[in-house]
Amino acid sequence: YSDTRAYRQSKLANIFHAKELAMRFKAEGVDITANAVHPGFIMTPLMRYTFYIMSLSLCFFSSFLLKNVPQGAATTCYTALHPSLKDVTGQYFVDSSKYNCSAYGRDPELAHKLWTFSQEFIDKHSPS
């Protein structure tokens, strides 16, 4: 298990989910936008779960590298509320800017496959 790989996969899944939702809303004529957002690295108690040496490094560099909570919330609030983004959907935002994700993140077929797999998994494992 690689926690870094799992984190990257979860971000890619967020992008896929937003793109598939955006496509489905548009196809159904629903006036709702769906975008993926990366808030950045936010100063939280998360570092207590890292190795001791890494924790010391993070403590030292955190004031230079990590965002505080309001800064971390800024991209989410901007994407949800800014009037210029009223009709922007299926996009990925980082630091309050549209971000071009990897080729994987731009693949609508992969987004659809993840949606289908997730729906089948939920249907199979949810109580009737």
pLDDT value for 114: 97
pLDDT in tens, 69-98: 888 899 999 999 999 999 999 999 999 999
Task: Give the SS3 label for residue 12.
Answer: helix
**Which residues of the chain are modeled with pLDDT < 70?**
44-64
Structural domain count, the chain = 1
Q: What is the C-alpha separation between 108 and 86, in angstroms, rounded?
A: 22
pLDDT, residue 23, reads 97
CA distance 49 to 52: 9
92 has catalytic annotation: no
Q: What is the pLDDT of residue 40?
A: 80
Positive or negative: CA dihedral 60, 64, 68, 73: negative
Hey, what are 59's tokens?
A: 């403590």
> Dihedrals φ, ψ of 97, to 5°?
-135, 145
Tokens read off for 16: 């896929």
Return the pLDDT at 41: 77
Q: Could you list the residue range(s) of the whole structural domain that residue 30 is in?
A: 3-125
- CATH at 20: 3.40.50.720
* Single pTM value for the model: 0.81
